[in-house]
Structure 1
Amino acid sequence: MLQTLHTLENHPMIEINPLCKPPLDPEFAPAVLWNRAYLKAADAAADSRPVRIAIDRPEGHTWVYTTTLLPATEAHAADTLKYCERTVKFLLWAWGGSQVRISNAPEVVEKLQAIYSADGARQFDYDFMGKTCFDQDFCIQNADASEIQEALPPATGGVGSLKGNRLGFDLGGSDRKCAAMINGEVVFSEEIKWSPYFESDPAYHRAGIQDSLKRAAAHLPSVDAIGGSAAGIYINNVPRVGSLYRGISAKDFKESIRPLFYELKAEWNDIPFELANDGDVTAMAGAMAIDDSAVLGISMGTSLAAGYINPQGSVTGWINELAFVPVDYREGVATDEWSGDDGCGVQYFSQQAVGRLLPLSGITVSPDLGLPEQLEVVQTKMTAGDERALAIYQSIGIYFGYTIAHFADFYSFRHLLFLGRVSSGQGGDIIMQEARRVLDLEFPELSKTLQFQTPDEKTKRHGQAIAAATLPKID
């Protein structure tokens, strides 16, 4: 089926012509331009088809994306498959779910079933979205449009949810932070070093979290709610994937880590207890800092991390793993070594992006240097005015401008929170300048409504624990 997918993509009819081209990668094919060109053609076609795509989870939650496809003819088959496959991939890694239902496109569903299978081109996605995240086989099915209805999870607390006596914690790889709040006023905040990555005993994690909670709780007359933040994927307060637990065996992870936060909730008298991905909580901290909502946070670090606060000021329950969403629609370039897919976010907005562009820039580094050290070389050369380093940041900035517009077709946001090691220094300024230039030229209406934000040092250090405290909803 990998061959079938590539064969179809070799005969596209959709063409794009970006106004801005990355100096080190001028053939970049922005997903947003390709999608919009396809949709423009579909809107102009006499026999175009309205289509609904549902992403379902086992507990009954469903998110729906509505779009339009070209007529089901051989002439349009390649472009329609490409559009649908890339869109489904984006929705899976933005929203997260183990079942996809699609209306009014049976010929596309048949192809996608083979592509997203145990031996298909998207085997990684099939396994991850199925057994790894949701404990069931992944599937793609036909459905009647009338059967596809949204069923959203209950809203969390969020921006402005400050009443009561709250604890908030943030679990990092080198430290854990915890804060205590009374009606929005921070009365205690503490950071304690720990080293969870290679601990094989789940009791280490439990004891560390409980210790931080108890130390913070000592500064409150009582505890009404607890909110937490940690790296990884958490579904309904259950850890599914997380680097913090890399030293724990699969058996102990299932038996001791997955129920951990439900057990902690019970030990704290079943008060409201909410856990969210640290990207979402970073976005929440940014929203609190600017006293607004509708925030998409993008962190360019070791990988691409993201978080989202919707216009209502709450986290959504989405997984927001934008490292795996397609942003470049070329074939055979910037292949992610983990998923085996081409053109996904991690290769464009992270230290990996810098490492990929380094040889193209003409800067030579020792092959023994790791990605963090390669980034340091580029940052040093940027400070010294090296035009080759400038071209790296300009390329990332142009990628970013087009991709911000791509994200805006799926996320509703007014603020773009920009952080991570790649964003630091003069290079980060160049990325933001180039991204804004792309938005001004190609997407002026979006550019008028979008503000770029960068977190201050206080928000970076302790803002996440404080923001996490707002997650639980107190009736």
Structure 2
Amino acid sequence: MKSFKRIPKFIPELDPGFMPISLQNREYREALALEDEKVDVKVAIVGPKGFVSTTKLQIFPDSADKNEDNIQYVERLVKSLIWVKGGYKVIFAGPNYIGQHLKMAYTIGGERDFDVVFMRDVYDREFEIEITDYDNVPESNEQVKKLGRNLEGYRIGFDAGGSDRKVSAVVDGEAIYSEEVVWHPKITKDPEYHYQGILDSVKRAAEKMPRVDAIGISAAGIYIDNQVRAASLFRVIPKEDFEKRVKNIFYDVAANIGDVPIEVANDGDVTALAGAMSFQENCILGIAMGTSEAVGYVDKNGNITGWLNELAFVPVDYSENAIMDEWSLDRGVGVSYFSQDAVIKLSPNAGIDLDENLSPADKLKVVQNLMEKNDERAKKVYENIGIYLGYSLAYYSDFYDINKVLLLGRVVSGKGGDILIEKANEVLKVEFRELYDKIELITPDEKMKRVGQSIAAASLPNLSK
């Protein structure tokens, strides 16, 4: 923001220009609280089946020195809400100059072209920004889908990973059979490969039980009504083949087994559910830092919300020089701060030379190996990511009620993960004491590892429906 640049008490040494959104927004709101006059704004995110998520906020009155800040404050919030909640329409009530900015940005060919096309493809309808009067913006109507914790009967839990697929045969909550199979879905264009691979795993589990009552599926991506809408597993499959063979791939597999009930959920949500089942606590935000930032959430009632939770595209840094995500072409979004991309980005600044011929995963391994040897340069990399996390959790808490943050993925494994968590806790303690007293950062325990992703997935379908 132009007028609000609060200096963090923890400056990442390898990225000194970092301007955490949580701090800048706090300064914006504190300055606004001192103003006699404020402008009311209302934003609604509209999704399928009557879903509406409405946010009310206030901004500064129209003035030459505050309009730019107002635009950035509102636009970054709208961007965040789109990717946290998910929807095909934004209804905006507020100053016309902000509404027109949103309309120009969120259109085909506009600054947020990626967001518009992505949401259009996910929801099968054109994305739009609607400008209206304050009283015409609908109130929230967020239906929560109650998934998981159903363990009765003979179930199959399937977890579709990018490098292996896992399956479990689960009888009344106990896994009687589990198997992992290496596969390569991200680089295979033939949808038959994917279908036969999934079917093979599910059939192997089915053979271990007298019958199959339900199939629960965990997979990276976005799923609506158990249909595949966007998923990295199928990213190289041609669009025509995707529509014909992939969109209903899990229904097709279930039909082959005997047309049993299925439930498909994002793997981030299933991970958070596994954590909630293991720790017997709700309000869990799961963050997996690997090839991207995968996120899931279990609310206060123990439910998966059905939100997108795509925090990889939610901004966390206001800096004009923040790194640009190569896919979304936006600056300062989560994937660049909480994935292997962050390690790779920061390493040269720490004096670590990474061979350009190495894959991103192998570059991460180089830094991890240095960390295991207590290399000070590698330590700085993880400390910086910990600073990012501490400040960003404060922003995420604007959208989620969080008691525990479950941290997973290759980036948080080993000694580097311990340093990352320690630094994030330090930031919370000093800058956001109220959150430090409330939020606990955890990693999977042995019980959760035993429960596992595929068993949590098996619990998704509700047989009483």
TM-score by length of 1: 0.91
The one-character-per-residue Cα deviations of 1:174-229 (angstroms, maximum 9, x if unpaired) are 32222232332323322233333343333332333233333323344443332101
SS, match of residue 87 in structure 1: helix
CA separation in 1, counterparts of 2:446 and 2:360?
24
Equivalent residue, structure 1, for 2:108: 118
SS, match of residue 189 in structure 1: strand
Equivalent residue, structure 1, for 2:60: 70
The alpha-carbon distance between structure 1 residues 299 and 148, as it changes in their structure 2 partners (threshold 3 A), is same
In the alignment, is residue 362 of structure 1 matched against residue 357 of structure 2?
no
1:347-358 paired onto structure 2 within 5 Å: 347-358=336-347
In the alignment, is residue 439 of structure 1 matched against residue 409 of structure 2?
no
In the alignment, is residue 50 of structure 1 matched against residue 60 of structure 2?
no
Q: Which moved more, 1:38-47 or 1:214-223?
A: 214-223
Q: Which moved more, 1:253-262 or 1:320-329?
A: 253-262
The alpha-carbon distance between structure 1 residues 175 and 389, as it changes in their structure 2 partners (threshold 3 A), is closer
The alpha-carbon distance between structure 1 residues 24 and 190, as it changes in their structure 2 partners (threshold 3 A), is same
CA separation in 2, counterparts of 1:409 and 1:379?
32
SS, match of residue 275 in structure 1: strand
SS, match of residue 205 in structure 1: helix
CA separation in 1, counterparts of 2:254 and 2:354?
50
CA separation in 2, counterparts of 1:201 and 1:372?
25
1:21-100 paired onto structure 2 within 5 Å: 21-100=11-90
CA separation in 2, counterparts of 1:356 and 1:469?
38
CA separation in 2, counterparts of 1:182 and 1:45?
61
Equivalent residue, structure 2, for 1:410: 399
CA separation in 1, counterparts of 2:218 and 2:123?
20
CA separation in 1, counterparts of 2:212 and 2:370?
51
CA separation in 2, counterparts of 1:44 and 1:271?
60
Aligned-pair CA distance for 1:128: 1.3
Report if aligned partners of 2:52, 2:141 keep a CA contact under 8 Å in 1.
yes
SS, match of residue 186 in structure 2: coil
Report if aligned partners of 1:45, 1:71 keep a CA contact under 8 Å in 2.
no
Consecutive unaligned residues in structure 1, runs of 5 or more = 1-8
The one-character-per-residue Cα deviations of 1:290-344 (angstroms, maximum 9, x if unpaired) are 1212111111112222111112112111121111111010113211111111111
SS, match of residue 186 in structure 1: strand
CA separation in 1, counterparts of 2:128 and 2:137?
17
SS, match of residue 387 in structure 2: helix
CA separation in 2, counterparts of 1:43 and 1:399?
27
In the alignment, is residue 337 of structure 1 matched against residue 326 of structure 2?
yes
CA separation in 2, counterparts of 1:20 and 1:46?
33
1:17 is aligned, of 7, 13, 25, to: 7
Matched to 1:275, the amino acid is V
SS, match of residue 286 in structure 1: helix
Q: Which moved more, 1:235-244 or 1:263-272?
A: 263-272
Equivalent residue, structure 2, for 1:4: none
SS, match of residue 373 in structure 1: helix
CA separation in 2, counterparts of 1:106 and 1:266?
52
The alpha-carbon distance between structure 1 residues 220 and 62, as it changes in their structure 2 partners (threshold 3 A), is farther
Report if aligned partners of 2:169, 2:177 keep a CA contact under 8 Å in 1.
yes
CA separation in 2, counterparts of 1:379 and 1:211?
35
Equivalent residue, structure 2, for 1:6: none
Aligned-pair CA distance for 1:141: 1.1
The alpha-carbon distance between structure 1 residues 378 and 198, as it changes in their structure 2 partners (threshold 3 A), is closer
SS, match of residue 80 in structure 1: helix
Aligned-pair CA distance for 1:450: 1.1
SS, match of residue 74 in structure 1: coil
1:128 is aligned, of 102, 105, 118, to: 118
Matched to 2:72, the amino acid is K
CA separation in 2, counterparts of 1:125 and 1:21?
30
The alpha-carbon distance between structure 1 residues 268 and 43, as it changes in their structure 2 partners (threshold 3 A), is farther
CA-atom RMSD in angstroms: 2.2
CA separation in 2, counterparts of 1:64 and 1:272?
33
The one-character-per-residue Cα deviations of 1:50-91 (angstroms, maximum 9, x if unpaired) are 322111124432222232222233332111100111111111
Aligned-pair CA distance for 1:282: 1.3
TM-score by length of 2: 0.93
CA separation in 1, counterparts of 2:209 and 2:197?
19
Matched to 2:98, the amino acid is V
Equivalent residue, structure 1, for 2:276: 287
CA separation in 1, counterparts of 2:309 and 2:90?
17
Matched to 1:54, the amino acid is A
The alpha-carbon distance between structure 1 residues 49 and 178, as it changes in their structure 2 partners (threshold 3 A), is same
1:185 is aligned, of 157, 174, 177, to: 174
CA separation in 1, counterparts of 2:279 and 2:451?
16
CA separation in 2, counterparts of 1:33 and 1:360?
24
